[in-house]
Amino acid sequence: MSDGSVVRVAGLGKQYHTAAGPVPALANINLSIYPGEFVAVMGPSGSGKSTFMNILGCLDLPSDGSYFLNGTDVRSLTKDQLAQLRNRVIGFVFQGFNLLSRSTLLKNVGLPLVYAGMGKDERNKLAHGMLEKVGLGKYGDSLPNSISGGQQQRVAIARALINNPRLILADEPTGNLDSNTSREIMDIFSRLNREEGITIVLVTHEPDIAAYAKRLVRFMDGRLAHDGAVDIQEGRAE
């Protein structure tokens, strides 16, 4: 039975099997994320945060425990059902933008709607509206290499929003951007969270980026080391 959470993990564990034996990546992770939360995920390299985000994004499955996405037990789904759930519920934003270089911005933004089976005219109309939302409405016929990195990330955000997802997963979304552009991108995330109530989970190494969130989750050696509020001034856990 759903508790109203967008994300709920209980006893979550992940091991990778190598020739030298199993390698633990996550162990006994328990947390829930509710609608409208803005969560920053931090931790050193190898701490398990990337594995955790891959599981949240249904790109990997846990070895132990349970993961409920929007009330659905992901381990009970077939690959096709998992792909449908992911496309319907989650919007992804990556550090490298992941735009199709030979497709226009309009086509890039509308791509998730192709997988959803939507017709071209309706798809283009919605994609244009999303480009307008991130301030790039007049660039729909442009190619990604004709705009700046910050603008490309805006396109990626528009693409993530096109299916009206309940959850946005952002993996180092400012990692390739300068400080001023990073602030612009984080202002967009903050506005989406504040004004539209979109749930955001964001991985970052930067305390000033984490400071935009309302909750900080920190991993260490595959375990949950901290789960609490963020000091907005310094980006530190309280």
Per-residue pLDDT of 115-164, as tens digits, reads 888 899 999 999 999 999 999 999 999 999 999 999 999 999 999 999 99
**Beta pairing, strands 199-203 & 167-171:** parallel
φ and ψ at residue 220, rounded to 5 degrees: -150, 120
- Write the CA distances from 15 to 18, 41, 85, 99, 126, integer angstroms: 10, 20, 24, 31, 41
Question: Going from the N-terminus, what domains does the chain have, and what CATH number goes with each?
Answer: 7-100+148-237 (3.40.50.300)
Q: How far apart are the first and last CA of the chain?
A: 32
Give the per-residue pLDDT at 134: 93
Give the per-residue pLDDT at 87. Answer: 87
The whole-number pLDDT of residue 52 equals: 96
Portion of the chain with pLDDT greater than 90, in percent: 79
Q: What is the pLDDT of residue 115?
A: 80
Instruction: Specify the pLDDT at position 231.
Output: 64
pLDDT digit string (tens) for the chain, length 238 residues: 468 999 999 999 999 988 888 889 999 999 999 999 999 999 999 999 999 999 999 999 999 999 999 999 999 999 999 988 998 899 999 888 899 999 999 999 999 888 888 899 999 999 999 999 999 999 999 999 999 999 999 999 999 999 999 999 999 999 989 999 999 999 999 999 999 999 999 999 999 999 999 999 999 999 999 999 886 444 444 4
Residue type, 83: A
